[in-house]
Amino acid sequence: MVDALQGLIAPRGVPRPIIDALHHEVAQILKLPEVRERLAAEGGVAVGSTPDEFAAYLRSEIAKWAKVVQASGARAE
């Protein structure tokens, strides 16, 4: 199964307090009923994972799809 996702990614070296503050604000926004309703109307679900959970998810997806690309023989042109 393939999921479409959206998330915020900061450049390497951004101080953790800034990452945590951004996460807090976005998590609060994702709890708003109007935001949840809008996402649901478009087939989406607000997850609001932690920065560490999102990073782990991205690492696992990169590893998974790297294997698929390698097995397919596809090459970037």
Number of domains the chain is built from: 1
User: Once rounded to an integer, what is the mean pLDDT over residues 9-26?
Assistant: 95
Amino acid at 77: E
Residue 1: the pLDDT is 65
For residue 35, being part of any structural domain is answered with yes
Domain hosting residue 59, numbered range: 16-72
Question: Of 10-14, 25-29, 42-46, which gets the smallest average pLDDT?
Answer: 42-46
For residue 42, being part of any structural domain is answered with yes
For residue 4, being part of any structural domain is answered with no
For residue 45, being part of any structural domain is answered with yes
Residue listed under structure tokens 């997850």: 47
The model's confidence at residue 48, banded by pLDDT at 50, 70 and 90, is confident
Interatomic CA distance for residues 38 and 15, integer angstroms: 32
For residue 56, being part of any structural domain is answered with yes
For residue 44, being part of any structural domain is answered with yes
For residue 10, being part of any structural domain is answered with no
For residue 23, being part of any structural domain is answered with yes
Residue 45: the pLDDT is 87
